[in-house]
Structure formats: structure tokens, C-alpha cells
Amino acid sequence: MSEAPLPDRAQIVVIGGGIIGCSTAYHLARDHKADVVLLEKGRLTSGTTWHAAGLIGQLRTSASITQVLKYSVELYERLETETGLASGWKQNGGLRLATTKDRWIELKRLATAARSFGLEMDLLTPTEARKRWPFMEISDLIGAAFLPTDGQATPSDITQSLARGARMHGARIFEGVTVTGFVIADGRVTAVETTGGPIVCESVVNCGGMWAKDIGRLAGVRVPLQAIEHQYLVSEPIEGLPRDLPTLRDPDRRTYFKEEVGGLIMGGYEADPIPFANGHIPDHFEFQLLEENWGHFEPHVVEAMARVPALKEVGVRQLVNGPESFTPDGNFILGRAPELGNFYLGCGFNAFGIASGGGAGWALAEWVMKGYAPLNLWSVDPTRFAGVHNDAFTKARTMEAYAKHYAVAYPNAEFESARPRLTSALYSRLRARGAVFGSKLGWERANWFASAGMLPEERPAQGRPASFDIVAAEHEACRNGVVMFDLSSMAKFEIWGPDAAARLEWLSANDIAQPPGSIVRTQMLNERGGIECDVTVTRIEGDAFYIVSATAARTHDATWISESLKGANATFQDVTELWGTIALMGPFAPAVMTAATWTDLALAPGQARTMTIAGAHARVLRLSVVGERGYEIHAPMDQLGTIYDALMEAGESFGIRPAGYRAFDSLRLEKAKRSWGADITSGDSPFEAGLGRCVKLYSSADFQGRAAAAAIASMPPRKRLCGFAIDSTEVYLTGRETILRNGRQVGYLSSGGWGHTVKTNIGFGYVSNGAGVTDAWLNEGKYEVVVAEILWPARLAMAPLYDPADNRLF
């Protein structure tokens, strides 16, 4: 029952009374003693929570997200004792089946990742799997994985228990109150407008489920969600079915199962999902279901009966058709929205909101109160999206992500929908040369180039891809000749004005107080000394700067930098679509530039020059992230084709060829170039990541995060990013593999791949030791990397495996 009257102010307003909203309110009140008001337009759980299936699995591809899910399980285990309300939590374990070779490799990789992330996962034979799930047909099984700490729960009961816990700790919950708008001043919400009157507040948390997109629009906040019909059936009781039967996922048959009152709940993810409410979600869609669609669900029934023959003999109590909100990449949305300084999101849980609820509420509460994420939550951060994620793109990509929910997780898999969306001026030229494109934040990017007579298409593989030899040839051409990469998707920003230099010097960990024409690779740190941005800063003129960052970091970096410029007499502009980028790399790159420009550039590494190439205006930056002599040529997008043609013509006698991002990644691995979001994050210090040389502690200049950076640098770090080499050609690294030192787990790989020049697997990962990770401690160890349950001897590689002299700090 709602409390009355509605208050006119609160510290934090949480919108939405599903499991995420109630969990967030609970943790804000319990852990932080915050003054919390939760608003629900209907009744608690009345949106999508009440009809969720309630399977609770913990393992994801991210260590941090797995930790979030582990926290959920730990919370649900004790919640009833704390609040006195039953949650229906049952820790009966979870089985995942494999019927194909590729799926079995995936399960073995998942088992390795599980142990890396602190979970035990057992690999079972088909016979062992049937002992745990005796009603299962196993003739087509190769094996199964069992996670004993997985389980199931009753969604409404857990939510009501969390709501009671929130009230016990002082939170106020109001049902029947609709949010109608927001009062916004200076980039922050100052009040929430509701049908019960305005509430002045310090922060807002949007946990509106399917309605989160509409709520976001009221505040000018982008929330890329699409509601999709999701069905499951509830069977009549099955004689002899154990009540402690584990949850079962049969991804090759696209189905899942859960015991329910002596029968089974069975659902799945269709290859042709049906969107719900393409525009505005109905306001009063409360405790409602959609019409049963047996025709659409029938393929699941056929597959389910093949797996569980007993279903042929029992009736169906109900076919539940309830909409759920999904996202374009299958990950939920958690954290601060980039558009406003105090507006947070907890939505888009892709039908695993019950599994995520406890941990997501904890993480979101920590984020709201402290201003930063408690873990590396980049994979769910709202800033991973950009302007490309409009309604049309979001719908198409989300429908594909839903259909691929149970697809094998191939390392080289790409989404195909909503493409092409963003292209550089070179797109048609590269396509004519056989480019096989991938997609990153909406941009079409050449991954590799098919040879004559070869289909220009990606074929998924668990090990070495079919393009391996072609990528090797592109890689070799960069090391021994000259290649061109189209890097136009990289994020690009311009900053100018009287305060630009001083403010950027404060933002940058490295010393950017260099003469015009200088390029500086720098990190931008938070107050904890963690890396928020990893960029190159080029000083164009005295008070004008050009910043380049990673494609995926565009929204994140733009938000971080532009907000840091507030109050300064400086202008910030995102010019990503306006400027294209060609990277000319390899030993013959200087000769090609000379032939194309009739000029000996005489640029030293780390220098830039504005010049004309084939009549086109360009900024030429002498830098290389692949370890060879090279230039980045930045030009207005409409002039990029002219420059490309001139360089290709000039390079013909030097054997120039285009190259793609697969070769680029192999080259950067050999050079030990860190990848932001994987190898370096906001929770990693430059000194832990081996980038201490980029931090100006040697100077007296102050900068953001200096105190924390100095403290970290003053003692042996408890973790360090290390490189590892595995020489066998029988293994293929992708990241998340476990690192062992003297037989004991000390970390896991954050990224990995094959170095085509050094002919070895290369992986990077943080190694931890409570007493400090010193050089002596590292060198005394014997290392192995666990890949799909197999231990491979590994060499420690703290220096780049390929490191020519022409690299400086890039």
C-alpha cells in the first residue's frame, strides 16, 4: 500500500516498481541511508516482472557482470530471513547442453571463464547430465555444463521482499503515481513532475522497464530499447518430476526449462521475434498478457518434446505471452546517462532481469551515491551507445540480438541488421577491392579483404577463422611493405578557445604543453587514478586541439571531456563524421607519402602538419599504433577519396594494399598496444597498465587524479597488466582465459589473438598478488593459460614482442 501524502522533495527518486527499481531503492536505503522515494505508476511488479520465468543463471562473458549476478544469488539466499517475506528462491543448479562440436567448445570456454570469475562449473558427459535431469533425451548430446549455484525464484515474491526491505530501511514507495516530466537546469534534473505533484530531488533513477524509453524521452535521454513478445508455457504436473530439478538450457534447440509446481515451464527465443508496441508502450498495461500465439511458439514445442518426451503426455496449463524489453547488443543498460549529470538508468534486461536484479540494484545504488561504477561495467554502461541508436536502428538490431540469444558465441561473429548505417567516403572503393566489413557503433569497417575468387563473407569459427591466412598476408604487408587502413570510425573531437590549453593540461595525465604540431598520447584519469580516456592530443595551434579516440569510446569520451570543460572559455565539438582517417603504415610509408606529395615531410614521430595532398586539405600525423613507420592522414570526409586514390597510385610500385581491422588488431597485440574497455578501464591505473611513462608525475604540474596516481605509483601495485605468449598453433586466444602462476589462478586474459610476425599467440591480462606484483615476483613464476579446460604453457612477455625503434609513446 502506498504511503501518503506524496513528499515535495527527496534525495533520490527511483522510477519503476519492478525488481530493478525495488532492488535499487533497497540498496540505496540499506547501504547508504539515502532519502529514497520510489514511484510506480501501477502496482509493484505490474509491468514485466510479474510474468518473468524466473531462471537465475550467473555466468556471463564479463567478469564484472558475473559478479553482479553472483551478488544476486547471495542476496536472494538471505533475503527471506531479513524481511520475513518468502522469495521462492531455490538453489537447484543449472544445466546447459551441447549438441554440436562448436557448442561444446563454447561450454568448455565458459567453464574456463567461470573459474576465472570465481564460479565452479562442472563439465558432464551425456549420461552424467541425465542423472541430474532424468527426464531428458540425450541421444544427440555431446556433453553438458553444470553450475551448482544457479537456481530459480518467484519474481513477484522476490520483488515484494525487496520492497519490504526498502521500507524497513526508510525508503518510501508510492503506487499509482505517474511521472509526467522533469524540471531540468544546467544539465541536471532538479525536480520530477508527477500526477501527484512535483518532487524536488538530487538524483533520478529510471528503472521503468518497457517504459524506460518513454521516461527517458521526457528528460531528453536516449534509451535504446525495444519491447518484444516473449512466450513460455506452463505444463500440467509430470509424474515423478523432482522438485529440485535444475534449470535447463538447451541453446541448440533454442529452449529453456524450469520446474514449476511439479510441472515444467518451457520457453525459448525465436529466430523471428515479434516486436511489441513499436511506438509508445500503453500506459495502463498492468498485469496484462498478450494473446497466445501458438503458431509462433510451435517450433519450440517440437524441440522441447524431442528433448523432454514426457511433455508429449501432459497437458498445458497456460501459454504466457508477455512483452520484455531488449537492447541492441543483448546487454542491459546500467549507469549514468550521458545527457544529464544526475539521471541514471537501470533497464533493458533482456529477459534476465530477475537474475540480475539483486546485483544490478546494488551496483546502481553505489554508482548513484559515489558518482562512479563500483566495478568495470563498461559492457552495460549507457555511454556505449551513440546517436546512431535511433528507434529504427535499435529495433532492427535488437530483433537480431534476440534471435541470436542462444547462438554460439563465435569470436568473429558480427551483427548483420541495420547495415550499412555509417560509412566513410572509402566504403565503395574498399567494397570493390573485396572488403569484408564488420560493424562498430554503426560504422562499417573493413575487417579483411577477400582475395580474387573468394567470397567476401565471414564464416564463423571457434578456432582460427577462414580468413586467417589472408589476415596474415595483410599483417606481413604492413611489416615489410606498406598498407592502408580506413580508420574513419575513430572518435574525433576539436577543442579551441582561450582556456582550452589550460583545461586540457588539467585533464591530461601526460604533458600536452607542447609546441603547435605536437602529438601526445595521454590518458585522462578520474579522481581514483583510473583511466577514463586513452587518447592522442594534437596541438593544431596555440589554443586549438584535435583529439582522437577509439570508435567504441565516442560517447563516453565526449561526455567526459565536454563535461570537464564546463565553466571554461573553450568550445568542444564532435567532428567524427566530418573527418575521415587513412592510416598509411609500413616501412615504405614515407616513400609513398613523398611520391604522392612531391615533398619530403621530414616529420619526426609525434609531429603533425597541415598540408595538401592531391589538392585536398589534410592533417598528417606521424604516429603508428601498429609498430611500423606510418602516418594518420585526417581529412574532411568529402576529400578522403581523392587522397586515397592518390596514395594508392603512388604506392603501386611499392606493392601497396588495403588492410583491415583483423590485421590491425594482430599488429597492435605484437606491439602491446592496450585496448580501452578491455585491457584498460576506469578501474585501472596507468601504473598498473604499464603506462606510467605517460603520467607527468615528474613535473610539478597538477592534473586530475594526480594524488591518486602518485599514491599508486609509490608502492608495488597489487595487479599489473602482463603479456603472455603461447607458441602452439593448436590454440586460439580470444580473452577471458584463466592465467595460472605456479598452478594457482592469478587472473584472466582481457584480450588475445595471434601475432603473425612473431608466430605465437599473444594475450594480455591483469595478474594479482596481495603483497604486490613486483618484477621479481613475476619473473619467479611459471605460467600457464587455461583455454577451454586445457592448460597451455605460457611465456611472460612484459615488453612488446615486436618493438621497432620508430614508436615513441604511440
The CATH class, in words, for 715-810 is: mainly beta
pLDDT of 278 reads 78
Averaged pLDDT, 544-553: 98
- Residues 309-319 pLDDT 10s: 999 999 999 99
More confident residue, 347 or 598: 347
Q: Identity (one letter) of the amino acid at 810?
A: F
The per-residue pLDDT for 522 is 97
Higher-pLDDT residue of 4 and 153 is 153
Task: Please compute the mean of the pLDDT values over residues 510-538 and round it to a whole number.
Answer: 97
Q: How many C-beta neighbours within 10 Å does residue 318 have? A: 12
The reply to whether 491-574 and 715-810 are identical in fold is no
Q: Are 41 and 178 in contact (CB under 8 A)?
A: yes
Q: What is the arithmetic mean of pLDDT over 684-705?
A: 96
pLDDT tens-digit readout, 658-675: 999 999 999 999 999 999
Average pLDDT of the chain is 95
Strand ranges across the sheet with 179-185: 179-185, 188-194, 199-200
Is the model's pLDDT at 2 over the cut of 60?
A: no
Query: Rounded mean pLDDT of 584-589?
Result: 96
Q: Assess contact for 86 and 392: CB atoms under 8 A.
A: no
Averaged pLDDT for residues 760-778:
97
Residue type at position 572 = F
pLDDT at 61 over 80: no
Under DSSP, the state recorded for 451 is P
Average pLDDT over residues 327-337: 97
C-alpha cell at 746: 592469478
Do residues 529 and 685 touch, judged by C-beta distance below 8 A? yes
Query: What is the reported pLDDT for 805?
Result: 52
Could you tell me the CA-to-CA distances from 638 to 437, 584, 643 in Å, in that order? 21, 19, 10
Contact criterion met (CB below 8 Å) for 148 and 95 = no
Q: What is the pLDDT of residue 113?
A: 87
What is 491-574's CATH topology?
Answer: Alpha-Beta Plaits (3.30.70)
388-396 long-range Cβ contacts below 8 angstroms, 24+ apart: 388/421, 388/422, 388/441, 388/442, 389/222, 389/224, 389/328, 389/442, 392/418, 393/328, 393/418, 393/421, 393/442, 394/224, 394/225, 394/226, 394/327, 394/328, 395/226, 395/275, 395/278
Lowest mean pLDDT among 159-173, 418-432, 590-604, 792-806: 792-806
pLDDT band at 810, cuts 50/70/90? Answer: very low
User: Which of 430 and 117 is assigned the larger pLDDT?
Assistant: 430
* Per-residue model confidence (pLDDT) at position 116: 84
Rg (CA), the chain: 27
Give dist(CA 527, CA 703) in Å, integer.
10
Instruction: Using alpha carbons, select from 761, 736, 808 the residue that is nearest to residue 64.
Output: 736
Q: Which residues of 77-90 are buried (b: 16+ CB within 10 A; e: fewer)?
A: eebbeebebebbbb
Cα 395 to Cα 278, 710, 737, 783, distances in angstroms: 8, 47, 33, 46
Please, are residues 346 and 68 in contact by the beta-carbon 8 Å criterion?
no
Q: Closest Cα to residue 21, out of 161, 163, 153?
A: 163
Separation between Cα atoms, residue 184 and residue 178, nearest integer Å: 18
* Residues 367-388: b if buried by 16+ CB within 10 A, e if exposed: bbbeebbbbbbbbbbbbbbbeb
Tell me: pLDDT of 60 over 90.
no
Q: Kindly give, in sequence order, each residue whose CB lies less than 8 Å from that of residue 485, ignoring residues fewer than 6 positions away.
A: 446, 582, 583, 585, 658, 659, 660, 661, 664
Chain-centroid distance of CA 233 in Å reads 32
pLDDT digits (tens, 9 = 90+) for 6-55: 999 999 999 999 999 999 999 999 999 999 999 999 999 999 999 999 99
Domain locations in the chain? Answer: 12-86+154-224+329-384, 491-574, 715-810
- The whole-number pLDDT of residue 592 equals 97
pLDDT at residue 547 greater than cutoff 70 = yes
Q: How far apart are CA 223 and CA 347, in angstroms?
A: 9
Q: Cα 315 to chain center, whole Å?
A: 42
Percent of the chain whose pLDDT exceeds 70: 99
Does 64 score more than 80 pLDDT?
Answer: yes
Which band of pLDDT confidence, cut at 50, 70 and 90, is reported for residue 600? Answer: confident
Report the CATH number of the 12-86+154-224+329-384 domain: 3.50.50.60
pLDDT at 803 over 80: no
Start-to-end CA span in the chain (Å):
60
Share of the chain above pLDDT 90, in %: 92
Per-residue model confidence (pLDDT) at position 1: 43
Question: Residues of 249-263 as b/e, b for ≥16 C-beta within 10 angstroms?
Answer: bbbbbbbbbbbbeeb
Name the nearest CA neighbour of 608 among 572, 646, 634, 582. Answer: 634
Q: What angle do CA 738, 743, 748 make, to 5 degrees?
A: 15
Res 771: pLDDT: 95
For residue 602, what pLDDT is reported? 84
3-state secondary structure 98-116: ECCHHHHHHHHHHHHHHHH
Average pLDDT over residues 111-133: 93
**Cα gap 67→111, rounded to integer Å:** 15
Count CA atoms closer than 13 A to 686's CA, side-chain side: 28
586, pLDDT greater than 70: yes
Average pLDDT over residues 763-769: 97
Q: Is a pLDDT exceeding 60 seen at residue 809?
A: no
Q: Which three cell numbers stand for residue 47?
A: 509491468
- pLDDT tens digits, residue range 564-585? 999 999 999 999 999 999 999 9
pLDDT band at 3 (very low <50, low <70, confident <90, very high): low
pLDDT score recorded for residue 276: 95
pLDDT at 115 over 90: no
pLDDT digits (tens, 9 = 90+) for 70-102: 999 999 999 999 999 999 999 999 999 999 999
**pLDDT at 57 exceeding the cut of 80:** yes
Q: Residue 167 — left, alpha, or beta (φ > 0 → left; ψ -120 to 50 → alpha)?
A: alpha
